Structure 1
Amino acid sequence: MVVIRKSETGRIPEWGVYIFPVLTVIFAILYLADENLYRSLIMEDSSIEWLTFAFLIAAGFLSLTVAVKIKRSHDYLHWFFILFFGFNLLAGLEEISWGQRVFEVETIGVFHKYSDQNEMNLHNTFQGLVHIKTKHIALLVLFFYGSILPWLMRNRDLRQEKFPLQQFIIPPVFLRLGFTLGAILMLDFQTGYEEELGEFFFSICFFIMMLWNLELFKHGYFHTDNYSSISKRSPSLSE
C-alpha cells in the first residue's frame, strides 16, 4: 500500500491555493490605482504575455521530466505527460505567435488572409476561418478540466480503470480556484485585455500541476504496483 499525504509534498498545496487570490487582488489594486500601467502590463507583447510563455514552457519541460523519470524508474510510457509536454510547447509558441514580432516577420499567405489579428499563429487563423473565439473554447474546456472534474472525480482512483483512462491526469483539487479565476478573466472584463491574465493564471496552474505530479512521482504514486493493468497487484492509495 502506498499512502501519500499532502504534508509529504511540501508547500505546493498551500501556495497553490493562495497565489491566485493574491495575484487577483494585486491586479485589482493596480487597475484602480493606475489603469494606464495596468493596461500596459496585460496587452499584447507585455510582461504578462512573456511570463505566460515562460510558465507554459516550464510546465511542458516539467511534464517531460516526469515522463522520463517514470520510464526510467518503472519502464512504461505515461502518455499524458508526453502529450502535455507537446500541448504546453505548442501553447507557449502560439502565445508569442512563434516569435513573429521578436524577429519582425511579416504576416503572409493564409495567415494574412484569415488571421483576425494579422498574426502568424494557429488560433487566430482558426478564429478567422470559423468565426469562433478560441478563448471561449479554452474557457469552457479548462473550466471543466480544472474546476469541475477534480470535484467530480475526488473519490475515484483512475489508476484502477482501464487503459488509457487510468493514465489521465486530473488537476489537484487545490488548483480549482486558480482554474476558476482564469476562466472568469477570459471573459475580458474590465478593459477587454483580461484574457491575457486568464492565460497567465492557466499557465501557472499547469506549472504547479506538474510540480505536484513530480512530487507524487517521488513518493511512488506512479509505481507499476499502483496500476491494475500494469501489475497484477491493485493496492489502494490514500490521498
Structure 2
Amino acid sequence: MKLDLKWTEKIGFPIIFSIIIGSVIIARTDLTYYQAVLTREDGFLEWLTVVALFMGALTCFYRAKILVTFRPSTFILGLVVMGFIFLFGVGEEISWGQRIFGWGSPQFFQQFNTQGETNIHNLAFGGTKLNKLVFGLILGICIAFYFLVLPFLYKKFPKVRSLVDRFALPIPKGFHIVAYLILAGLAELIPGHKKGEILEFGGCWIFYMMTLEPFNRERFSRKSFKR
C-alpha cells in the first residue's frame, strides 16, 4: 500500500495514536484512573472527541459553501446532511449543553435516560439500551460496511461510484481502513467496561481525517474544475 499522506495526516495520526496507546497503557497500569478520570464525563477524551466532531461539521459546511456553484444540489445536500450528523454527535457528547449551562432534564429523559441526562444514546426502554443496540451493534455494522465494503464497491462498480460521488460521500483510503483496524485491536487490550470510550475517540478522529482527505478527494476540491 502506497502511503500518500498529506501534512494534516502526517501530524494528525501520530498524535491520535499516541493518545490511544497512552490511554491503553494507563488502563492496564491504573484502571481506576483510566475509568474515573481519563474517560469520565466531560473529561479529556470526551472533549477531544467533541473537537473532532465539531471540526468535521465545519469542514462539511465549508465545502458546501465553496462548492455550491460548482456541484449539483444533491452533492451540496449530502455535505449539509453530513455536517448536521457531525453536529448531532457534538450535541450528544455534551448532552446538548446540559452540564455546561446547568439546566435540568425534562421528565421524559429523567424517566428513560440511564444517566438522567438530555441525550438520545443513553435512552433505555424495557431493558433495551439504545447505546448498545443502535450506537453499538447497528452503528458498528454500518462502520464495518463503510470502511471495509464500500471502498471495494466504489472502485469496482461505476454505478456505485457515481451514486457515492453524487451525494458527496467521502471514501476511506487504505490507510484509514488500517488505522481503524489497529484502533479496534488496541481497544481490545483495555480491561474493564470502558473500551467504548477509546473506540469513540479514535473512531471519530479517524472518520474526521477520512472526511478531510478521502480517497475521492478531488470531488471536494475547487481545483478540479476548469474555470
TM-score range normalised by the length of the shorter chain: 0.7 to 0.9
**Pick aligned residue for 1:44 from 30, 34, 41:** 41
Do the aligned partners of 2:20 and 2:202 also contact (CA within 8 Å) in 1? no
**Whole-angstrom distance in 1 between the partners of 2:90 and 2:28:** 30
**1:89-104 correspondence runs (5 A):** 89-104=87-102
**Pick aligned residue for 1:33 from 29, 32, 43:** 29
**Whole-angstrom distance in 2 between the partners of 1:143 and 1:162:** 19
Q: How many residues align?
A: 217
**Whole-angstrom distance in 1 between the partners of 2:179 and 2:3:** 18
Partner of 1:106: 104
How far is 1:24 from its partner? Answer: 3.5
Partner of 1:81: 79
Over the residues paired in the alignment, what is the CA RMSD in angstroms? 3.4
Amino acid at match of 2:68: K
Partner of 1:172: 173
For each residue in 1:44-84, what CA deviation from the matched residue of structure 2 results, as whole angstroms up to 9, or x when unmatched? 22111111111101111111111212114x15332221111
Do the aligned partners of 2:170 and 2:210 also contact (CA within 8 Å) in 1? no
Partner of 1:230: none
**Pick aligned residue for 1:55 from 52, 75, 92:** 52
Give the match's secondary structure for 1:168. Answer: coil
Amino acid at match of 2:100: V
How far is 1:90 from its partner? Answer: 0.5
**Whole-angstrom distance in 1 between the partners of 2:155 and 2:63:** 22
Amino acid at match of 2:72: Y
Do the aligned partners of 1:187 and 1:194 also contact (CA within 8 Å) in 2? yes
- Structure with a larger share of its residues in helix: 2
Give the match's secondary structure for 2:62. Answer: helix
How far is 1:151 from its partner? Answer: 4.0
**Whole-angstrom distance in 1 between the partners of 2:186 and 2:142:** 14
Deviates further, 10-19 or 109-118: 10-19
Identity of aligned residues (%): 23
Do the aligned partners of 1:182 and 1:199 also contact (CA within 8 Å) in 2? no
**Structure 2: runs of 5+ lacking an equivalent:** none
Partner of 2:65: 68
Amino acid at match of 2:59: L
**Whole-angstrom distance in 2 between the partners of 1:209 and 1:32:** 29
**Whole-angstrom distance in 1 between the partners of 2:188 and 2:140:** 8
**Whole-angstrom distance in 1 between the partners of 2:222 and 2:203:** 26
Structure 1 residues 163 and 208, CA gap change in structure 2 (3 angstroms): closer
Deviates further, 97-106 or 212-221: 212-221
How far is 1:22 from its partner? Answer: 3.9
**1:190-209 correspondence runs (5 A):** 190-209=191-210
How far is 1:167 from its partner? Answer: 3.8
**Whole-angstrom distance in 2 between the partners of 1:46 and 1:188:** 21
**Pick aligned residue for 1:10 from 6, 22, 29:** 6
How far is 1:31 from its partner? Answer: 2.2
Structure 1 residues 182 and 104, CA gap change in structure 2 (3 angstroms): farther
**Structure 1: runs of 5+ lacking an equivalent:** 225-239
Structure 1 residues 21 and 155, CA gap change in structure 2 (3 angstroms): farther
